[in-house]
Amino acid sequence: MREISFKNRKGLTLRGFIHEPKAHAKKYDTAILTLHGFPGSCTGGRITNTAKLLEKKGFLVMRFDFSCSNISDGNFEDKLMSDEVKDIKYAIDFLEKNYQFKRLVLHGHYTGSIDASLYAYKDKRINRLILSGATDRLDHSARFDFTDVQVKDFWTKGYITYRSKGYWSYNKRLKKAFYDEFFTLDIPKAMKRYRRPLLIIHGEKDEGVPVQCAKELYKLSNRPKQLYIIKGANHRFTKRKWLKLFVEKAARFARS
């Protein structure tokens, strides 16, 4: 594993990590770009452990922080999902410039899956798409991320402040513009334009995004597509057996 950095369209430096199964190999069969959720970071335990397990299976894996997140440049209060979607292009540009690979798999978890859903059809370099903890519609998903009190603060103050100690986002403000995009960005429209292989993986007991959202996303998506529900699993696949099941299924799909 090594640290990486690159610029996005605004000139902000985005930082992350590359997992190389064979150090300095000239060419890899498959590269996987994995996107973190909100208000997460590529340094989180789930995404880090996922990348390490995929690396052990021979994949070149890249994880990075979107702009305005933890180790990347930008102010958290100015974060927008639409900017995260645009960051993906520059991450793929970095991979393509620095590594050779035969196929590229884009994977996103929760908000990362939203970003991936909105971007994948735009970039022909993406050969396969994996969405986990994913939702089918943003207009009703806003309440998955924000409480009644937070929504009230958005409307009365124009921002919310995160108060969970121990997280990188502690005591940081987020402007209402981030919330507003839940009602303007269109996942169904984007997914109807994506026509390459798709794998949707979801925890049966996902407490953050109901499993029905994954089923609805599967229905509206084009073939070829697969839906895999991990029995008993929660949103973050916190048990080792759940994460291993995710990695096994994702690895088979990536190589298929």
In tens digits, the chain (256 residues) has pLDDT values of 999 999 999 999 999 999 999 766 778 999 999 999 999 999 999 999 999 999 999 999 999 999 999 999 999 999 999 999 999 999 999 999 999 999 999 999 999 999 999 999 999 999 999 999 999 999 989 999 999 999 999 999 999 999 988 899 999 999 999 999 999 999 999 999 999 999 999 999 999 999 999 999 999 999 999 999 999 999 999 999 999 999 999 999 999 9
pTM of the model: 0.97
Residue 19 lies in a domain: yes
Q: Using an 8 Å Cβ cutoff, are 226 and 198 in contact?
A: yes
Phi, psi of 124 (to 5 degrees): -70, -10
- Give me the domain span that covers residue 125: 2-138+186-255
To which H or E segment does residue 217 belong?
helix 211-220
- Give the pLDDT confidence score for residue 93 in this predicted structure: 98
Using alpha carbons, select from 110, 156, 148, 147 the residue that is nearest to residue 131. Answer: 110
Residue 229 lies in a domain: yes
Which residue bears the tokens 């994913």?
Answer: 134
Residue 169 lies in a domain: no
Indicate the DSSP class of residue 193.
Answer: T
Residue 158 lies in a domain: no
CATH at residue 85: 3.40.50.1820
DSSP assignments along 47-93, one per residue: HHHHHHHHHHTT-EEEEEPPTTSTTSSS-GGG--HHHHHHHHHHHHH
Residue 125 lies in a domain: yes
Residue 162 lies in a domain: no
Residue 223 lies in a domain: yes
Cβ neighbors of 220 (< 8 A, separation 6 or more) are: 136, 188, 191, 192
Q: Using an 8 Å Cβ cutoff, are 33 and 106 in contact?
A: yes
Structure tokens at 96: 């393509």
Residue 126 lies in a domain: yes
Q: CA-CA distance, 35 to 51, in Å (whole number)?
A: 11
Task: Report the domain count for the chain.
Answer: 1
CA gyration radius, the chain:
17
